[in-house]
Amino acid sequence: MNNFSDGEAFGRVNLMGEHLDYNQGCVIPLQINKSVNVYLKKDTTIEGIKIKSENFDQEIFTSVSNKKMNDWTDFIKGSLYLFGKKYNLNIKQLCIEVKSNLPIGIGVSSSAAVTVSTLKALCSLYNKEIKNSELVELAHSVERDFVGVAGGVMDQFASIYGSQNQALFLDTKSNNYDLIKLSGDYIFFIIDSGKQRILTDGSLNQKRQYCKKISIKLNIENLCILDELDDHHKKILTSEELDIAKHVVYENQRSKLGKIALVENDLKKFGSLMTQSHNSLRDLYKVSTSELDLLVELCNTFGSLGSKLTGAGFGGAIVTLIKKELVEDLKMFIIENYPNAKFL
């Protein structure tokens, strides 16, 4: 778009390690070919900020402040506010246009993509150079400190460092990462259940607080430092707390095993780990839904190597590992048994 400074950021699907980034565990996201584009330009005809989105067919007038609007524009407002604070800028008289083909509320990191693309556009507009590591932290701060969603750093990291043909293995405690090239014969295929979830309702924050409570009870920094839950841990924790701890500890192990499987191109093993992950999210962490469970069952019945929900859960999408040549047949099978499904 002429005379606009722009930024683009891609979404991601998480292949392994759900609910581990806020427990400082290991995760395996994969960037997807769906993105958010944010365009900025100065507009002296307005006093504050005008936000336009073709996806919502709306125009919003606001100002840069620390006051939230409690909708998707908070990720833009938070980016403007914290960017201005970082660089001591008085940001005003700005027209912002948002274009996106990345679905909202299905677990593919649309909020992080909005944030990262806005920050990239601001860097372009104000001629600021920023290291990728600083951009990750600034984007994470928007979500955590401004919007108030207490997730980890995975989504922002995947948006900035990720690749669409390489899985990203990330240790969220150290932020050390590896990119792993994927086999060309199989793909990680995303299916939207049609049930949108909203993380700003506090559901994710509650899970994080519960994990923190359990860590304090066990007198440890976080659950991911454990390799095993022994009899001592089992005596201290309630049955509900033990289920939460089991998911986190053993999901972290699955992520590490998943990295080895991908490096060795053992996709059968990786697919099995995906399904184990989903079962844990369903039975122990209790963030799945009947819709997600049905889609996982259908994909695995059809012949996928493995399937799981992606993202925080509570609705949204699943990801399934399947041979490329079978994707169209899988689509027909899913529609026959789950007509509300949408495919990315």
Catalytic residue among 74, 155, 171, 192: 155
pLDDT at 200 over 70: no
Longest pairwise C-alpha distance within the chain: 68
pLDDT digits (tens, 9 = 90+) for 91-144: 999 999 999 999 888 889 899 999 999 999 999 999 999 999 999 999 999 999
Q: Rounded to an integer, what distance in angstroms lies between the CA atom of residue 323 and that of residue 188? A: 9
Residue 21 annotated in active site: no
> In CATH, what number does 184-343 get?
3.30.70.890
CB 13 within 8 A of CB 30: yes
Residue showing tokens 């191109």: 265
pLDDT digits (tens, 9 = 90+) for 215-263: 999 999 999 999 999 998 889 999 999 999 999 999 999 999 999 999 9
Global pTM reads 0.92
The two beta strands, 166-171 and 186-192, are unpaired
Give 250's contacts (C-beta < 8 A, 6+ positions apart). 280
CATH number of 5-180, picked from 3.10.520.10, 3.30.1330.10, 3.30.230.10, 3.40.470.10: 3.30.230.10
Domain positions in the chain are 5-180, 184-343
Mean pLDDT, to the nearest integer, of 46-51?
91
Domains 5-180 and 184-343 share a fold: no
Phi and psi torsions of 47, nearest 5°: -90, -35
CA 339 to chain centre: 26
